Amino acid sequence: MADTHAIDTWKAVLGDLQLQVNPSTYETWLKDTQGVSISDNLLAVEVATPFAIEWLERRMYQSIQSTAQKIAGRPLQVQFQVRNTAPSNGSESPVADDQRPAHRTIQTPQYRLNGKYNFNSFVVGPSNRLPYSAARAVAEAPGRSYNPLFIYSGVGLGKTHLLHAIGHTCVSEGLSFIYVTCEQFTNEFITAIRGRTTEDFRAKYRSVEVLLMDDIQFISGKEQTQEGFFHTFNDLHNSNRQIVLTSDRPPKALALLEDRLRSRFEWGLIADVQPPDLETRMAILRTKAEQMDLGLDDSITEFVAKKVQKNVRELEGCLNRIAALAKLTGRPITLELASQAIADFMPDLSRRSASPDRIMEEVNRKFRVTNDDLTGASRKKGIVRARHVAMYLLHEALGMKDTEIGRLLGDRDHATVINAVGKVNYEINVDSQLRQDVLDIKEAIFS
C-alpha cells in the first residue's frame, strides 16, 4: 500500500534535487524513483534497477541525504530498494497512451513513452509554434511532409515532449515506430556488432514506419555508430519512412559528424524551439498546475514565470517545490508560500556554482597542472588532456560559447575547441579513467 506521506516527502526531496543536479542526471537517475515508506528516521525509496541504486549511492548520496534532512527537518536516512517488477498503478504506462492498447507497436519496454508528453499537454506559443506544427504534420502524414524533421533547442524546452507526442500519435494510429535515445541506439548497435547480429539490428530498424531519435548530438565522434545510423537512415528514407531527430544544436554546429550525415540531417525541415515568452510560460504553469490538481492564483503564476525564463523543466521544478511545501506544511498556496518555496532558487543552480575559475581550478587539481599550462602552448600529453577536459567542461557544464572558451584558454580558435569537446565527448565513452576523472571534477564543482 502506498504511503502518501512517504510519497510526498520524497517528491519534495526530488523537487529540490531537480534544481541541484543537471537535467540529464535528473531524468536518468531520479525522475522515476518513488517514496514508499517513511518512519521516524528512515525513508525508503524505490528505484528501477540495482545499477541505478549503485549509481545514486556512489554519486549522489551526500546531496540526497542532506536534502532529505532539510525537507524533513530532522535526521532522515534514505534507503534505496529495487522496485517490484510487477506493474504498478502509476501514471506511466509502458507503452504510451492506453487509449488503444490493441495497437501494440514493436517497442520494447525500455523505449517507454511518458504518458504526459502528448500534443494536448504541449502549450503552443510563438517560441515553439513551428516545431510543434511540424511535429503534428509528420505524425499525421509520416514520410510525406518533412523528412527528416530535425528539432533543436537548449535543454528543457520540449524536444523530448514533442517526440513522445509523435510516438503517442503513432500508437493511436496503429503505426509501428521506435523511440530511442541516441545513447540507446549506440549501445544497441555496439552490442549488435559484438554479438554479430547487425543484420537483426538493421532489420529491426528498417521495419518501422517512424523512427524517433532523441539527442542525436551524442552521435558526435562515434564513427562506427554514425556508419550504422547512416545505413538505417538511408533504408528508412528510401522507403519514405519518417525520421524525426532532436538535438541540442543545429546540424551545422554538430562537431565530429560525417558530412554525409550532416547533409542528410538538412534534407528535410530544421525547426528550433526558443525559450517561451512570459505569456507562454504562464500558460505552461497553468497547464501543469491543472495536471497536478493545484489551484494557482494568477499572481503566483506570474511570479514564478518571471523568476524562471529559459527552461520549462525548471518552471516545473519550481511548481513541484511549491506544491510540496504546501502539502507538507498544510498551508494554502499564497504568494508568500510560493516565494518561500523558491526563495533560494536561482536559474540553473548547476551553472551558478560553476564558474570558469572553478572549473579550471578543479581541472588543475585533478590533472596536476596550472592555469599557465592550460593557456600555454605545451603539447605534453597530460597537459593537452587537461586542456581538452577544461574545454569540454566549460562547454558542457557552463554552456560557454566556443569562441569564448578559445579566448579564455590561450587565444585558441573555436575549431580547436569544437574538436577538443567532441574528442572528450567520445573518449569518455571508451576510456573509463577519463570518465572517472570528469565525473570527479563535476562532483567537486557541483556538490
Q: Give whichever of 154 and 376 is closer to Mg ion, judged by the CB atom.
A: 154
> Distance (Å, rounded) from C-alpha 13 to C-alpha 444?
21
DSSP 347: S
Q: Give whichever of 95 and 157 is closer to ligand ADP, judged by the CB atom.
A: 157
> Distance (Å, rounded) from C-alpha 311 to C-alpha 379?
39
List 406's β-bridge partners, or say none. none
Cβ 132 to ligand ADP, closest distance in Å?
8
Specify the stretch interacting with ligand ADP by CB under 6 A; choose among 119-127, 298-306, 320-328, 329-337: 119-127
Q: Give whichever of 159 and 327 is closer to Mg ion, judged by the CB atom.
A: 159
Q: For residue 32, give the nearest of 98, 106, 110, 101 by alpha carbon.
A: 110
Q: Give whichever of 128 and 147 is closer to ligand ADP, judged by the CB atom.
A: 128
> Distance (Å, rounded) from C-alpha 148 to C-alpha 146?
6
> Distance (Å, rounded) from C-alpha 281 to C-alpha 55?
34
Specify the stretch interacting with ligand ADP by CB under 6 A; choose among 158-166, 177-185, 221-229, 260-268: 158-166
Residue 153 touches ligand ADP, criterion: CB under 6 A: yes
**Residue 155 near residue 311, CB atoms below 8 Å:** yes
- Give me the residue whose beta carbon is nearest to Mg ion: 160
One-letter amino acid identity for 34? Q
**Residue 36 near residue 6, CB atoms below 8 Å:** yes
Residue 313 touches ligand ADP, criterion: CB under 6 A: yes
For ligand ADP, the binding residue among 72, 123, 243, 391 (CB under 6 A) is 123
Radius of gyration of the chain (CA): 23
For ligand ADP, the binding residue among 46, 188, 272, 316 (CB under 6 A) is 316
**Residue 94 near residue 87, CB atoms below 8 Å:** yes
**Partner whose footprint covers residue 316, from Mg ion, ligand ADP, none (CB < 5 to 8 Å by kind):** ligand ADP
Cβ 181 to Mg ion, closest distance in Å?
8
Do strands 34-38 and 42-47 pair parallel, antiparallel, or not at all (unpaired)? antiparallel
Residue 160 touches Mg ion, criterion: CB under 5 A: yes
Residue 161 touches ligand ADP, criterion: CB under 6 A: yes
Q: For residue 16, give the nearest of 276, 397, 295, 323 by alpha carbon.
A: 323
Specify the stretch interacting with ligand ADP by CB under 6 A; choose among 44-52, 71-79, 114-122, 387-395: 114-122
Burial 46-65 (b: 16+ CB within 10 A, else e): bbeeeebbeebeebbeebbe
For ligand ADP, the binding residue among 44, 155, 166, 342 (CB under 6 A) is 155
Q: For residue 428, give the nearest of 412, 413, 440, 415 by alpha carbon.
A: 440
Contacts of 362 (CB under 8 A, 6+ apart): 441, 444, 445
Q: Is the dihedral of CA 225, 231, 236, 240 positive or negative?
A: positive
For ligand ADP, the binding residue among 9, 67, 105, 128 (CB under 6 A) is 128
**Partner whose footprint covers residue 153, from Mg ion, ligand ADP, none (CB < 5 to 8 Å by kind):** ligand ADP
Helices 356-367 & 381-396, crossing angle to 10 degrees? 150
Q: Give whichever of 158 and 228 is closer to ligand ADP, judged by the CB atom.
A: 158
Q: Give whichever of 91 and 238 is closer to ligand ADP, judged by the CB atom.
A: 91
Q: Give whichever of 282 and 312 is closer to Mg ion, judged by the CB atom.
A: 312
> Distance (Å, rounded) from C-alpha 244 to C-alpha 265?
10
Q: Give whichever of 284 and 441 is closer to ligand ADP, judged by the CB atom.
A: 284
For ligand ADP, the binding residue among 43, 44, 212, 284 (CB under 6 A) is 284
Q: For residue 260, give the nearest of 222, 233, 289 by alpha carbon.
A: 233
**Partner whose footprint covers residue 158, from ligand ADP, Mg ion, none (CB < 5 to 8 Å by kind):** ligand ADP
**Partner whose footprint covers residue 108, from Mg ion, ligand ADP, none (CB < 5 to 8 Å by kind):** none
Total residues at interface with ligand ADP (CB under 6 A): 18
Residue 122 touches ligand ADP, criterion: CB under 6 A: yes
What residues line the site for Mg ion (CB under 5 A)? Answer: 159-160
What residues line the site for ligand ADP (CB under 6 A)? Answer: 117, 121-123, 128, 153, 155-161, 284, 287, 312-313, 316
